[in-house]
């Protein structure tokens, strides 16, 4: 089983460049989300989606865009990269969403390490 697949695993950008982190899951999960992990800050929610066509902001959404055109894919776009966006990014998915609470296990991708110079 592929589970949650994130690409790329590593990326170096220059300030001002744009890029998209891809996330795909093959478990038919309604709920998908993006987190960033920084030392001493834990995991902070960037954006999340409870189903295709529905997205919402998390704790730290500024500088990021998302869309959810299909159940499987949830790409994260950095519009104009800044050094403050240097981080490890995780995509995660789970059952639930429109039907109710996020009650189940959150399945994580392997993470994408992004460095902005």
Taking the C-alpha atoms of residue 12 and residue 115, their distance in angstroms, rounded to an integer, is 5
- Closest distance between other proteins and the C-beta of residue 39, in Å? 10
- CA 104-90-53 angle, to 5 degrees, is 70
User: Which lies closer to other proteins via its Cβ, residue 82 or residue 88?
Assistant: 88
CB contact set of 84 (below 8 Å; sequence gap of 6+): 63, 116
User: Which lies closer to other proteins via its Cβ, residue 49 or residue 85?
Assistant: 49
The residue ranges that bind other proteins (CB under 8 A) are 31, 33, 35, 40-45, 48, 50, 58-59, 88, 90, 92, 96-97, 101-103, 105-106, 108, 110-111
């Amino acid at each position: 089983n592929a589970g949650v697949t994130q690409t790329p695993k590593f990326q170096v950008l220059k300030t001002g460049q744009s890029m998209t982190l891809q996330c795909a899951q093959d478990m038919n999960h309604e709920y998908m989300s993006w987190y960033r992990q920084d030392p001493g800050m834990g995991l902070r929610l960037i954006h999340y989606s409870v189903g295709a066509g529905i997205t919402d902001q998390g704790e730290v959404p500024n500088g990021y865009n998302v869309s959810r055109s299909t159940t499987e894919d949830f790409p994260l776009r950095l519009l104009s990269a800044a050094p403050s966006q240097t981080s490890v990014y995780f995509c995660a998915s789970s059952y639930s969403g429109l039907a109710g609470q996020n009650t189940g296990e959150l399945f994580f991708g392997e993470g994408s390490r992004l460095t902005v110079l």
